[in-house]
C-alpha cells in the first residue's frame, strides 16, 4: 500500500531558521523575490504591465506588515500547487514559474515569512483571469483557501504578515526600510515603503565608481577596475584597496543576482592572490546556494574566478606600462599578493623585478637595479642570516639580497627558469667566509693557541673557531651554521630514537659529513679579539671565548638552547665578578 510523506511545517520552519538562513531578516528578501518574480512573469504575458511593489510596515497597517505587487497573481489551483505544497518544482515550471529568469522559486520563499509571522494572509488575482483567491495559513501548518468575489479587483498579490509576539520589531518601519533598501535598492522595479521610493534606476557604480566604492568599503579605493563576464551576465567593479591587508584575510565581495543582493561577504569570486581586491558585481546566471546567501561552488564560479583574476592582472600590467609612480605605491601596499602572482605569471614577475624594492647590502632597491650593478642576484634565503652577513659582505664589496620573506625564494627560482642560471643564485655563508682575508700569521698563531685552551668551551657548544681578517672592525665575531654537520647531528638524534634499520640508513646518508655544527669566525681587526690573543689566564681565555660565542649567537638572532642561556648568565656574572674584584688575566 502506497503512502504519502507528511510534512511538519513547524519542523520546516525550525530548519529554515536554525540551519538554512543566517537570520530572520531574510524574510524581507524572500518576499521581495516573490514579488519581483511575479512581476517578471506578468511582463512575459503583458510586456507593458506595471512593475511596482508597495510595502506598508507595522504602524501604518494596523499591527501587520502588508506587501503588494502588480505581478501575475495566482488562480485557485495555483494557490494550492504553489503555496501549500513543498518541493513541487516541476509543477511550478509547468505553471509558468520556471526558475530561469527568476530570482527564486516562486512560492517557496513565502515559508520564510513564518520566521517572523504567526499567521500569513494572502489575496491574489491572476492576470490569466478568474476571481480573487484568499489564502490564510498559520505556523502550525493549517491553511484555508477560498474564492473571494468581493476582494480587490486589481491584478496582483497582497500579503499580510501577523507577527509573532516576540518578532514585532522585524516588521517595524525602520527595520523594514533598512532591510528592503539593503536587499532591493537596485531592483529593476519600483519598490515603495509607503510613499517613499527606495529603488534606483541605474547601477550606482556606473555613475561614479570610486565614490560608490568609498561608500561600500568605508575608505576611498586605490582604483576601480571595470569587470565583465558576458557568459554569466556579470558586470561590476573590482576595487583595489588603498592599504595592505593580511593575505589570510577573508575576501568579502558584494554580489547581486538580477539586482537582488545575495550578500556583501561573498567569498570565492577572485583567486586567493587577489586578496587586496574587493568586487561589487551583478550577475544574471551565477548560482546561489539554497539559502541564497552565498554562491554555489561549481564550474561556472571557477570560470568566473579565473576570468576576473585575469582582468585584475591585466589592469596591473597596464598600470605598470602607464603610471610607474602609482605602480610603486601599489607594490608598497600590496606586495605580497603581487609577489604571489609573480610565481606563476611572467608579466607579474617582470613587474616585481622592475619595481618592488628588496632588502640588499646596497640598501633597498629593485632586483633589476641590483642585477644591473652586480650581474647576478646573489641571495640569502634566511632573514637573520642575511642581517648577520650583510655588513661583512658589504665591507668586502659583495652584493647580497635578502630572500627570506614570503615568496622571495620562489621568485628567484622563476628568474632562473626564465633567464638562465646566471640570473640568480643562492649564497651559502661559507662563500662569504671564503672572501674574508687571512690574519697576520703571528696573530693567527697566537689566537689558535688561545682557542685550543678554550677547546672544552667550543666543544660544549658544538662549535669550531677560526680567525679571519675583515671589515667592519667593530664586529668581533660571526656565528655561521655548518649545514652538513647540522644535518648529521639531526640525523643522529633521530637515529637514536628509531629502529636499527632506519638508524643504519640515516647513518649511511650522513656518514660523509664531519665537523662541528657551528663555526665561530673571529675578526682579527676587532680590539676584543686582539685582546684575547694577549690573555694568559686559561680561565679568562675560556670566559672570553664563551662571551664571544654568546654575543655572536645573539647577533645572529638564533633561538637559544638551555645551555646557551646558561652560558650567557655564566659569562656575564663571571665578567662582572672579575670587574668588581679587579682580577686581571
Phi, psi dihedral angles at 290 (to 5 degrees): -60, -35
Helices (H), 48-151: 76-78, 89-94
CA angle, residues 389, 393, 395, in degrees to nearest 5: 125
Closest by CA to 336, choosing from 318, 352, 319, is: 352
User: Is the Cα dihedral 309, 310, 316, 318 positive or negative?
Assistant: negative
Q: Nearest to residue 437, comparing CAs of 402, 396, 379? A: 396
Half-sphere exposure of 126 (CA within 13 A, CB side): 14
In angstroms, what CA-CA distances link 247 with 181, 335, 337, 424?
A: 32, 10, 7, 27
Residue 62 to residue 168: CA distance in whole angstroms: 12
φ and ψ of 282, to 5 deg:
-125, 135
**Which cell goes with 367?**
632586483
For residues 149 and 188, is the Cβ–Cβ distance under 8 A? no
The H or E element containing residue 446 is helix 441-453
Other beta carbons less than 10 A from residue 52's beta carbon? 17
- pLDDT for 18 equals 61
- CA–CA distances in Å: residue 212 to residues 44, 197, 239, 242: 33, 20, 10, 15
Please give the pLDDT value at position 513: 46
Q: What angle do CA 463, 397, 421 make, to 5 degrees?
A: 85
Strand order in the sheet with 277-283: 223-229, 234-240, 277-283, 253-257, 260-266
Find out whether 426 and 380 touch, Cβ atoms under 8 Å: yes
pLDDT at residue 159 in the model: 93
Q: Put residue 100 in one of left, alpha, beta given phi > 0 → left and psi -120 to 50 → alpha.
A: beta
What pLDDT is stored for residue 142 in this prediction?
A: 83
Please give the grid coordinates belonging to residue 467: 680567525
- The verdict on whether omega for the bond into residue 472 sits within 30 degrees of 0, i.e. cis, is yes
The predicted structure's pLDDT at residue 270: 92
Return the exposure string of 563-577: e unless at least 16 CB atoms fall within 10 Å of the residue's CB, then b. Answer: ebeebbeebeebeee
Which residues 6+ apart lie within 8 Å of 174 measured at CB? none
Yes or no: say if 474 and 554 are a contact pair by the CB < 8 Å rule: no
Question: At CA 466, angle to CA 462 and CA 472, rounded to 5?
Answer: 115
Partner residues linked to 480 by β-bridges: 519
Give the residues across from 238 on adjacent strands: 225, 279
β-bridge pairing 65-69 and 156-163: antiparallel
- The span from the first CA to the last CA of the chain, in angstroms, equals 107
Integer Cα distance of 312 and 271 in angstroms: 10
- Provide the 10 A C-beta neighbour count for residue 423: 19
Predicted confidence at residue 296, as pLDDT, reads 87
> pTM for the whole thing?
0.72
Sign of CA dihedral 157, 163, 167, 172: positive
10 Å CB burial of residue 438 (0-12, 13-18, 19+) is: exposed
Q: Which three cell numbers stand for residue 272?
A: 586567493
Q: In this predicted structure, what is the pLDDT of residue 374?
A: 93
Greatest pairwise CA separation for the chain in angstroms = 119
Return the C-alpha cell found at 294: 552565498
Q: For strand 190-193 and strand 196-197, is the pairing parallel, antiparallel, or unpaired?
A: antiparallel
What pLDDT is stored for residue 581 in this prediction? 67
Select from 240, 238, 213, 211 the least CA-distant residue to 227: 238
Angstrom distance (rounded) from CA 390 to CA 22: 54
Count CA atoms within 13 Å of residue 562 on its CB side: 0
From CA 32, how far away is CA 161, in angstroms rounded?
14
Closest of 65, 36, 33 to residue 177, by C-alpha: 65
How many helices and strands (H and E) does the chain possess?
20, 19
pLDDT digit string (tens) for the chain, length 585 residues: 554 545 566 676 666 666 677 788 889 998 999 899 999 999 999 999 999 999 998 765 557 899 999 999 999 888 887 776 654 543 344 444 444 454 444 345 677 888 899 999 999 999 988 889 999 988 887 888 898 776 656 899 999 999 988 888 899 999 999 999 999 999 999 999 988 999 987 889 988 999 999 999 899 999 999 999 999 999 999 999 998 777 667 788 999 999 999 989 999 899 988 889 999 999 999 998 877 888 888 999 999 999 999 999 999 989 988 998 998 888 888 888 889 889 988 988 998 999 899 999 999 999 999 999 999 999 999 998 898 888 889 888 899 999 999 999 999 999 999 999 999 999 988 888 888 888 999 999 999 999 999 888 888 888 899 999 988 889 999 888 765 545 555 555 555 555 665 566 556 555 544 567 888 899 999 999 999 889 888 888 888 888 888 888 888 777 888 888 888 888 878 877 777 765 555
Tell me what pLDDT residue 105 has.
45
Asked if residues 131 and 148 have their Cβ atoms less than 8 Å apart, the reply is: yes
Give the dihedral of Cα atoms 39, 40, 44, 45; nearest 10 deg.
Answer: -20
**Locus of grid cell 693567527:** 444
- Give the chain's radius of gyration (CA, Å): 37
Taking the C-alpha atoms of residue 123 and residue 159, their distance in angstroms, rounded to an integer, is 7
Whether 328 and 355 have beta carbons less than 8 Å apart is answered as yes
Amino acid at each position: 500500500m502506497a503512502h504519502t510523506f507528511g510534512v511538519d511545517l513547524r519542523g520546516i520552519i525550525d530548519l529554515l531558521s536554525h540551519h538554512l538562513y543566517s537570520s530572520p531578516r531574510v524574510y524581507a528578501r524572500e518576499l521581495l523575490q516573490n514579488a519581483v518574480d511575479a512581476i517578471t512573469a506578468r511582463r512575459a504575458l503583458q510586456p507593458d504591465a506595471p512593475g511596482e511593489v508597495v510595502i506598508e510596515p507595522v504602524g501604518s497597517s494596523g499591527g501587520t506588515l502588508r506587501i503588494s505587487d502588480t505581478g501575475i497573481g495566482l488562480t485557485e489551483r495555483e494557490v494550492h500547487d504553489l503555496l501549500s505544497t513543498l518541493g513541487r518544482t516541476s509543477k511550478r515550471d509547468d505553471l509558468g514559474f520556471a526558475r530561469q529568469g527568476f530570482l527564486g522559486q516562486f512560492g517557496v520563499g513565502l515559508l520564510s515569512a513564518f520566521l517572523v509571522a504567526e499567521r500569513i494572509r494572502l489575496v491574489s488575482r491572476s492576470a490569466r483571469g478568474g476571481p480573487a483567491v484568499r489564502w490564510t495559513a498559520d505556523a502550525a501548518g493549517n491553511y484555508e483557501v477560498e474564492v473571494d468575489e468581493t476582494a480587490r479587483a486589481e491584478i496582483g498579490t497582497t500579503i499580510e504578515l501577523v507577527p509573532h509576539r516576540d518578532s514585532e520589531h522585524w516588521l517595524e518601519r525602520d527595520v523594514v526600510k533598512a532591510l528592503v533598501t539593503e536587499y532591493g535598492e537596485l531592483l529593476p522595479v519600483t519598490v515603495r515603503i509607503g510613499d517613499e521610493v527606495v529603488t534606483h534606476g541605474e547601477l550606482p557604480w556606473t555613475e561614479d565608481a570610486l565614490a560608490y566604492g568609498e561608500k561600500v568599503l568605508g575608505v576611498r579605493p586605490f582604483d576601480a577596475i571595470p569587470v565583465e563576464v558576458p557568459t554569466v551576465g556579470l558586470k561590476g567593479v573590482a576595487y583595489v584597496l588603498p592599504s595592505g591587508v593580511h593575505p589570510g584575510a577573508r575576501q568579502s565581495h558584494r554580489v547581486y543576482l538580477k539586482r537582488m543582493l545575495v550578500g556583501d561577504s561573498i567569498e570565492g569570486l577572485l583567486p586567493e592572490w587577489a586578496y587586496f581586491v574587493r568586487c561589487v558585481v551583478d550577475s544574471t546566471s551565477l548560482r546561489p546556494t539554497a539559502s541564497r546567501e552565498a554562491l554555489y561552488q561549481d564550474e561556472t564560479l571557477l570560470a568566473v574566478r579565473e576570468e576576473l583574476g585575469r582582468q585584475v592582472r591585466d589592469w596591473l600590467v597596464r598600470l605598470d606600462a602607464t603610471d610607474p609612480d602609482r605602480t610603486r605605491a601599489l607594490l608598497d601596499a600590496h606586495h605580497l599578493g603581487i609577489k604571489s602572482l609573480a610565481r606563476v605569471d611572467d608579466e607579474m614577475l617582470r613587474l616585481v623585478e622592475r619595481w618592488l624594492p628588496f632588502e640588499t647590502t646596497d640598501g633597498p632597491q629593485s632586483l633589476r637595479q641590483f642585477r644591473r650593478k652586480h650581474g647576478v642576484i646573489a641571495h640569502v634565503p634566511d632573514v637573520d642570516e642575511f642581517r648577520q652577513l650583510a655588513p661583512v659582505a658589504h665591507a668586502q664589496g659583495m652584493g647580497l639580497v635578502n630572500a627570506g620573506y614570503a615568496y622571495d625564494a620562489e621568485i628567484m627560482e622563476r628568474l632562473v627558469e626564465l633567464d638562465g642560471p646566471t640570473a640568480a643564485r643562492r649564497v651559502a655563508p661559507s662563500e662569504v667566509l671564503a672572501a674574508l682575508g687571512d690574519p697576520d700569521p703571528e696573530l693567527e698563531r697566537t689566537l689558535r693557541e688561545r682557542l685550543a685552551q678554550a677547546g672544552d668551551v667550543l666543544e660544549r657548544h658544538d662549535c669550531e673557531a677560526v680567525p679571519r681578517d675583515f671589515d667592519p672592525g667593530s664586529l668581533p665575531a660571526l656565528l655561521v651554521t655548518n649545514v652538513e654537520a647540522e644535518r648529521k647531528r639531526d640525523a643522529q638524534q633521530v637515529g637514536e630514537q628509531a629502529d636499527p634499520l632506519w638508524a643504519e640508513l640515516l647513518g649511511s646518508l650522513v656518514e660523509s659529513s664531519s665537523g662541528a655544527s657551528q663555526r665561530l669566525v673571529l675578526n682579527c681587526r676587532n680590539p676584543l679579539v686582539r685582546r684575547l690573543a694577549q690573555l694568559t689566564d686559561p680561565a679568562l681565555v675560556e670566559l672570553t671565548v664563551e662571551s664571544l660565542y654568546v654575543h655572536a649567537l645573539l647577533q645572529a638572532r638564533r633561538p637559544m638552547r638551555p645551555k646557551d642561556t646558561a652560558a650567557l648568565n655564566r659569562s656575564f656574572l663571571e665578567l662582572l665578578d672579575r670587574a668588581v674584584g679587579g682580577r686581571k688575566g
